[in-house]
Amino acid sequence: MEYIVFILLGLTMAGFEALLLIRFSKNLIANTIGILGGIGALLAIWDYSYRILMIKDLRIQTFGCFVFSFGLGFCILLWLFSKIFIKSLDDKYSLRMSDILLGNVKALENHTNNRQKQIDAELNYHELYELKESNEKQFEELTETKSYLLEKEKDMLHLKKYLDENLSKTVCLELPLNYKYPVTINYLNNMESYIKAFVKFDNYIFDTTEQFIENQNENSDRDLQIFLKTYLNFLCLSTSKILFGYHEGVRTHVRYLKDGYYETIACCVGEIKSDKDLTKIPLKKGMIDKSNVSKQSLIKSCNLEYHYSAQNDHVWKDYITIPIIEIEKKHMPLLSIGISIKYPGIHSDILKFLNFIKIETVYSKNICKINKYYDILKIISEGV
Amino acid sequence: MAKINKISAFIAFTKALESGKDETVKEMKSILGDMIDQEIRQDEPYTEYVMERTQKKLFMI
């Protein structure tokens, strides 16, 4: 009976020691302390059991049973546990409950590393990391650009303040909308020719409009579409000739409202040709809409924020938009006249002069006179 | 140039534009340009008078 007790004790202790070793801790000191502690506990348990059972004659025999069963059990159990637990390390991704309970550090570390590699591969970690680096670089660049732009904005505000101060001391033309155009010596020198041309233009358009009406009344069987187109071509041609001397750097055109867009109906470019390939301007966009709201002609360079980008912006650098607000279609002007210039250095001053002197009144009063006799909206609705 | 001829010339110009005959358009532009020049030259005295008034008005601003 005593032998069996010591054999069981030895086997139990062997089980504990084998489990202790199988933890695979990397810490050598902890492993050594654990083993030494185990041996100390072994001897203490044997001694304690021996005293409790009060066996006096079988000291060596029971100790032998205890040590033998411990040694044999330890070897068998260590081999058995190694087979069970160490084999599991080959499995890359699975982590078993026993690994956690036994604190199988190597298995846990191995599992963690493998899982990390697997997740990295699935999420394409390296690419994401590179992207992150690139984003950080871009962010730094943008931050630098932002601070540069802020500095520039500061400079521009200073410059604007300086210009405003100097403009207040200079003679300026007040052009719509809230734009001050400084009057230069060159402008003053040319003003006489501008006024002369404008007066001639006004007078000529007025007389010829009367003649157009008279002529159409005498030839009432003439196609009204041809009549209207001719009149609008006459306006473009006269503008180009009288105000700009048929300069090839000036384009005069008339647009009409059709299906939500302003399309070309008449156009004149200097003496050479008549360009029909003008950008369609959508309703409620661009300068036509803004000039309709403000009820006056507007110049692009004075109102850049309202400009609608067109396909020939690189050719025609500036223009004036003149809406004929008296004849409406869907609360928008049916007709809009435009004068575009290629060379602002040559024609910028006269464009500003025409805006200042309200050239829209010349076009409006004459077109309205035509409209009084011949309904322009009706003529256009019937197709031009 | 008589009134009727002037308007007829502009109508012919429009028809030339419609037909796409560039050479005719160019020639007609030249003719109409000369015609405009001639007509506005006849109005010189009136132009001078209006200009004087306009200039005065402008310099008053």
pLDDT tens profile A186-195: 998 998 899 9
Inter-chain CB proximity B3 and A215 less than 8 Å? yes
User: Under the phi-then-psi rule, with left for phi > 0, alpha for psi from -120 to 50, and beta for the rest, what region is A258?
Assistant: beta
Inter-chain CB proximity B51 and A208 less than 8 Å? no
Please tell me which of A111-115, A245-249, B40-44 the model is most confident about, judged by mean pLDDT.
Answer: A245-249
Q: Note down the domain range covering A236.
A: 174-381
Q: What is Dmax (Cα atoms) for chain A?
A: 155
For residue range A254-308, list pLDDT tens digits in order.
Answer: 999 998 999 999 999 877 666 666 888 888 888 999 999 999 999 999 999 999 8
According to the model, what pLDDT value does residue A26 have?
A: 56
Task: Note whether A291 and A323 are within 8 A (CB).
Answer: yes
User: Tokens 């011949």 sit at which residue?
Assistant: A374
The answer to whether residue A231 scores a pLDDT higher than 90 is yes
Find the CB nearest B47 among A199, A234, A246: A199
According to the model, what pLDDT value does residue A212 have?
A: 94
DSSP per-residue codes, B1-61: --HHHHHHHHHHHHHHHHHT-HHHHHHHHHHHHHHHHHHHHHTHHHHHHHHHHHHHHHHH-
Q: For residues A97 and A376, give the distance between their C-alpha atoms in angstroms, rounded to a whole number.
A: 91
Q: Which of A194, A210, A213, A230 to mutate to test the interface with B (most CBs of B within 10 A)?
A: A230
According to the model, what pLDDT value does residue A74 have?
A: 85
The answer to whether residue A93 scores a pLDDT higher than 60 is no
Range with the lowest mean pLDDT among A101-115, A231-245, B7-21? A101-115
According to the model, what pLDDT value does residue A303 have?
A: 93
Paired with A251 in beta bridges are A269, A340
| H/E stretch holding A262 | strand A261-269
According to the model, what pLDDT value does residue A165 have?
A: 83
**Count of domains for chain A:** 2
The answer to whether residue B58 scores a pLDDT higher than 80 is no
Structure tokens given for A146:
């932002």
Residue whose C-alpha is closest to residue A340's, from A317, A365, A374:
A317
Query: What pLDDT band is residue A82 in, cutting at 50, 70 and 90?
Result: confident
Kindly report the backbone phi and psi dihedral angles of residue A282, in degrees, each rounded to the nearest multiple of 5, phi listed first: -65, 150
End-to-end C-alpha distance for chain A, whole angstroms: 125
Please tell me which of A35-39, A327-331, A340-344, B55-59 the model is most confident about, judged by mean pLDDT.
Answer: A340-344
**A16 found inside a domain:** yes
**A48 found inside a domain:** yes
Residues A115, A208: one domain?
A: no
Range with the lowest mean pLDDT among A48-57, A78-87, A275-284? A48-57
Query: What pLDDT band is residue A22 in, cutting at 50, 70 and 90?
Result: low
Interchain contact A316–B (C-beta under 8 A): no
Kindly report the backbone phi and psi dihedral angles of residue A271, in degrees, each rounded to the nearest multiple of 5, phi listed first: -95, -10
Residues A117, A184: one domain?
A: no
Residues A229, A376: one domain?
A: yes
For residue range A120-134, list pLDDT tens digits in order.
Answer: 888 888 899 999 999
For residue range A316-339, list pLDDT tens digits in order.
Answer: 999 999 999 999 988 899 999 999
Query: What pLDDT band is residue A94 in, cutting at 50, 70 and 90?
Result: low
- Alpha helical stretches, state H, chain A: 2-21, 28-53, 59-81, 87, 97-101, 105-123, 125-167, 185-218, 224-238, 244, 286-294, 344-356, 360-373, 376-381
Average pLDDT, chain A: 86
According to the model, what pLDDT value does residue A280 have?
A: 87
Residues A292, A202: one domain?
A: yes
Q: For residues B35 and B25, give the distance between their C-alpha atoms in angstroms, rounded to a whole number.
A: 15
Structure tokens given for A136:
């950080």
**A135 found inside a domain:** no
Interchain contact A233–B (C-beta under 8 A): yes
For range A140-159, the mean pLDDT: 95
Residue of B nearest to A201 (CA): B40
Give A1 or A6, the one with higher predicted confidence: A6
Task: Note whether A94 and A37 are within 8 A (CB).
Answer: no
Query: What pLDDT band is residue B1 in, cutting at 50, 70 and 90?
Result: very low
Residues of chain A above pLDDT 90, percent: 46
Q: Which of residues 170-209 of A touch B (CB under 8 A)?
A: 191-192, 195-196, 198-200, 202-204, 208
According to the model, what pLDDT value does residue A169 have?
A: 80
Interchain contact B9–A (C-beta under 8 A): no
Query: Chain A closest CA to B59's CA: distance in Å?
Result: 10
DSSP state, A321?
E
Range with the lowest mean pLDDT among A25-29, A45-49, A50-54, A355-359? A25-29
Residues A209, A356: one domain?
A: yes
Query: What pLDDT band is residue B56 in, cutting at 50, 70 and 90?
Result: low
Q: For residues A254 and A337, give the distance between their C-alpha atoms in angstroms, rounded to a whole number.
A: 4
Residue whose C-alpha is closest to residue A277's, from A248, A312, A303, A233:
A312
- Say which CATH number the domain at A245 has: 3.30.450.40
Residues A183, A114: one domain?
A: no
**A155 found inside a domain:** no
According to the model, what pLDDT value does residue A377 have?
A: 94
Sign, CA torsion A154/A155/A160/A166: positive
Range with the lowest mean pLDDT among A51-55, A135-139, A185-189? A51-55
Residues A101, A188: one domain?
A: no
Query: What pLDDT band is residue A252 in, cutting at 50, 70 and 90?
Result: very high
Paired with A320 in beta bridges are A299, A339
Residues A189, A83: one domain?
A: no
Q: For residues A296 and A279, give the distance between their C-alpha atoms in angstroms, rounded to a whole number.
A: 22
Residues A193, A322: one domain?
A: yes
Residues A103, A180: one domain?
A: no
**A160 found inside a domain:** no
